[in-house]
Structure 1
Amino acid sequence: MSNDLFTSARRARVGLLATFFFMGVVSMAWVARIPEIRDANGLNNGQLGLILISSTIGAILGAQLTGRLVHSYGTQVVIRVAIIIMPIGLILMGFSTSPITLIFGLFIMGLGYSSMDIASNTQAVVIEKILGRRVMSSFHALWSSGAFATTVLGGSIANYVSPRDNLVGVGIVCFFLFIPAVRMLLTSDQDEHSGGEEETDAKIPFFGKSVLPLWGMGIGLLGGLIAEGAASDWGAILLRDDMGYGIGVNASAFAVFSLAMITARFLGDRALDHFGPRKTVLYGGYLGGIGLGAGIAIAVPLSDSQPILAFVIVNIGFACAGLGIGPMFPAYILAASEVPGIASSIAIARVGVIGIAGYFIGPSVTGALAQVLTLPVAMMYPVLMLLLAGYQSHIIKK
């Protein structure tokens, strides 16, 4: 390995850390404003859940295309396109006062997000390989940091700034900040996008023995991301509608969840070295599932008589979920990239298309269940999925 490549990888690591941060900011900027956006579009929980499917369609399409595009053109090229698409989706969501506009904005956001996510994670795998040490979890820690920052911002200005001005401002600022970060990334002749020296396949079957490990990992990742999506999209509504906490305060659920994910991901590289990916996912799934389920089950009935205690308990539950989910995505992505005979971008895309679909489908299913049952009961669905994510750790070899 040349010194120039090592130096480029160190520089790319800085650029990718910034890219992950701004990706978290843009993708999560609307979380604190979801109740207002729902009301501005005249939607109930069930209708919002159904509309969220549009982001799922965009995410699946983006993930399906990105693996092949990365394999052919490299990660930096795909990311350059995605940094245009994501802010456009966010801005459209900010302007939405009718379901059609919201649907289109969510679709664009899902398309851009999944493209950015898969391309960025593929580059992260190469950077880790060149540097010769664990750094994957730190990238995701910066994503969580961006998500936390934008959630706190949205909650703190909710009483003073409209959702439209909030989301449009974030979209425009982050677009310009993305540009210098992306310029620092590994170029197409450095990122091993076609598999490097190892012979790999760019085309893999949808089903079959050779891709069974990818399906197993994808289902595990799906479980974790369903819980993450539910925490981001329904946490504020749960605290507002079912526990009686006001605008700004109700954003605490996802803020605490994000802060816990930041902590877990900054420690994640050490955890992956110490426990290995399989045990890290196993422990995280069970801690997160049990903690979140117990927190909601105890806090919601308690909120009428003991609102402060209930507020603490429900946020502890969301914190447990954040701690558990934090290292999951890095662990499953690393495991996918090591499947022999398949280009890492293709393997990550296959696992990603299943997992990211869960991130977007999960809130839709939760919303549908909330309309039929209640939101606290519906939140037991992502709890069960988080437990499934821990169980699926047996697919990971080490």
Structure 2
Amino acid sequence: MDRPRLSPTDRRALVAVAAQFFVNGAMTASFIARAPQLRDRIGVSVDGYGLLMTVAASVGIVSSAFAGRIIHTATTRRVLQAGAVALVLSLPIIGGARSPAVWLIGMFVYVFVDALVDISMNLQGSWISARRHTPIMNRLHGLWSLGMLSGGLGAVAANAAGLSTFVHLLIVAIVTAVALAFVTHHLLTSDLEGHGEPEAAPVNGRNGAPSRLPLVLLVAAGMFAVVMEITGGDWATFRLTDDFGATAAVASAAFVAYTVGMTAMRFGGDSLQTRLGRMGLHRLSLAIATVGFVTASLVPNQTVSLVGFFLVGLGVATFMPKLYDDAARLPGRRGAGLGAMSGGIRVAFLITPVAVGGLAGTSLSVGSAIAIFALPAALGLALVTEWNDRLLRPTALTGEAER
């Protein structure tokens, strides 16, 4: 499809949305990286802090359920503007809490609003991406990853300087407030134009009513993708320490390899998508991820495992940008598709660590536990995305020729 060049307004909106992704990642990492200090400040054990995190994370599922209605009524720009205020104000509460109850209040606000912000910025990103000659969703998610890295490094510096969590997160709140004042001023002002293309016709069911099957398949795809991301990233270090007896320093290299692979592909994925098409890149990514999981989890060699985790990072990097973009393009109420998929993703984020950890705690090796979850998830993701592609292809959902 031949698309016109972006207007000056769209170009400013692109810079603003890119900044939103970066800032959002940095804000989240700022308090995640200081979890031990926050735990000590509110006076709970490691297990207790994990339980509190699970309770706080569950609020995101509730927020996702109402996201479509809220965004359709308020518009993405207003959600991002109000969300910026709420996120900034919640950070000092999280950092300054002296009791679990106060900490939960701050986290409830942050998690609830963050889910709405996440969906709104992905909607704006998807709309601008559709108006460009080359897509940008992978790079936007790459900026979020860089924001997470920056927020983590800021936490390291705050620890080194002896700053309390309250002072640190207050500084983060002030800096991000200034940045978000610029960001929200230049965002797209209207949601009506959307992707700048005729809206795709909904897929009809047997009774002639719009079918919910494409949405259900997207939710399933998001959950499969999360299983692959968590098993490939969060359990990489345990594979080396528990299965190979590696030192903590060497084991950290597994997570670094995964992260480098993911970051590299997110910044290179858009150009590959231009050449291969949306599904072409997705199939390539699935193949790379599958090879990576086999080598990382089943080959009894530490060096091969490190290479495998690098391949896993390369492979899974494009899953979320594609699925967010697909959900944003579904016909119907703005944000409804993204809200449903976001809810499914957050459920998978709650369940997967417990399930993998429980299996890894048996007589099985960590590598076996990773393979038991990741390889079926890869097959499931392949099946549901191919099925959805066939369902939606006649409606020209992607707005581009399949290759």
TM-score by length of 2: 0.75
Deviations 1:347-374 (A, max 9, x none): 2222222224323443454456567789
Deviation per residue, 1:328-357 (Å, 9 max, x gap): 112112223333x42342222222222243
Change (3 A) 1:48 1:71: same
1:117 aligns with 2:107: no
CA distance in 2, matches of 1:167, 1:255: 26
> Conserved in 2, the CA contact under 8 Å of 1:257 and 1:318?
yes
Helix, strand or coil at the partner of 1:151: helix
- 1:17 is displaced (CA, Å) by 0.6
Contact 2:292 2:309 in 1 (8 A): yes
Checking the alignment, whether the CA contact within 8 Å between 2:28 and 2:151 is kept in structure 1 is no
Aligned residue for 1:134? 135
Q: Distance in 1 between the 2:164 and 2:352 partners?
A: 24
State the number of aligned residues: 377
Preserved CA contact (<8 Å) 2:293 2:375: no
* Distance in 2 separating the partners of 1:91 and 1:364: 30
Q: Which residue number corresponds to residue 336 of structure 1?
A: 327
Structure 1 position 125, deviation (Å): 2.0
| Structure 1 position 383, deviation (Å) | 2.8
Match of 2:187 in 1: 185
The amino acid across from 2:317 in the alignment is: G
Deviation for aligned residue 1:21: 0.7
Structure 1 runs not aligned, ≥5 long: 202-207, 303-309
Measure the CA separation in 1 of the matches of 2:164 and 2:381. Answer: 34
2:317: which partner in 1? 326
Give deviations 1:115-159, integer Å, cap 9, x for gaps: 111101111122123335422222112112212323344456655
Q: CA RMSD in A?
A: 4.1
Shift of 1:86: 3.2
Q: Work out whether residues 224 and 386 of structure 1, in 8 Å CA contact, stay in contact via their aligned partners in 2.
A: yes
Tell me the residue number matched to 1:245. Answer: 248
1:354 maps to: 344
CA distance 1:292–1:80, change in 2 (3 Å) = farther
What's the CA shift string for 1:238-292, capped at 9, x where partnerless? 888985426xx87665554443322111112122233333343333234335525
Give the AA of the match of 1:338: R
Distance 1:53 1:336 in 2: 26
Stretch moving more, 63-72 or 284-293: 284-293
Structure 2 residue identity aligned to 1:327: T
380-389 vs 232-241, which moves further:
232-241
**Contact 1:283 1:390 (8 Å CA) reproduced:** no
| Distance in structure 2 (CA, Å) of the matches to 1:227 and 1:209 | 31
Matched residues in 2 for 1:102 and 1:235: separation?
30
Correspondence for 2:175 among 173, 186, 194: 173
Matched, 1:392 2:392: no
Quote how far apart the aligned CAs of 1:37 are. 5.2
Query: Partners of 1:43 and 1:376 in 2: how far apart?
Result: 25
The 8 Å contact of residues 5 and 132 in structure 2, kept in 1 or not, is answered as: no
Task: Show the counterpart of 1:58.
Answer: 59
Task: Identify the residue that residue 271 of structure 1 maps to in structure 2.
Answer: 272
- Structure 1, 155-164 or 254-263: larger mean CA deviation: 155-164
Bigger drift between 212-221 and 328-337 goes to 328-337
CA distance change for structure 1 residues 184 and 365 in 2, over 3 Å: closer, same or farther? farther
Counterparts of residues 213-292 of structure 1 (less than 5 Å): 213-229=214-230, 244-245=247-248, 254-292=255-293
What is the rounded CA distance, in whole Å, between the counterparts of 1:365 and 1:393 in structure 2? 24
Matched to 1:188, the amino acid is S
1:41-78 deviation line (CA, Å, top 9, x unaligned)? 54446x55544322432211222222222212211101
Could you tell me how far 1:393 is from its partner in structure 2?
2.5
Identity %: 22
Q: Following the alignment from structure 1 to structure 2, what is the Cα–Cα distance between the partners of residues 322 and 42?
A: 34
Question: Larger Rg: 1 or 2?
Answer: 2
Q: Could you say if the C-alpha distance between residues 196 and 66 of structure 1 is closer, same or farther in structure 2, counting changes exceeding 3 Å?
A: farther
Residue 307 of structure 1 is matched in structure 2 by: none
State how far apart, in whole Å, the 1-side matches of 2:98 and 2:373 are: 29
Q: Which moved more, 1:324-333 or 1:127-136?
A: 127-136
Aligned to 1:345: 335
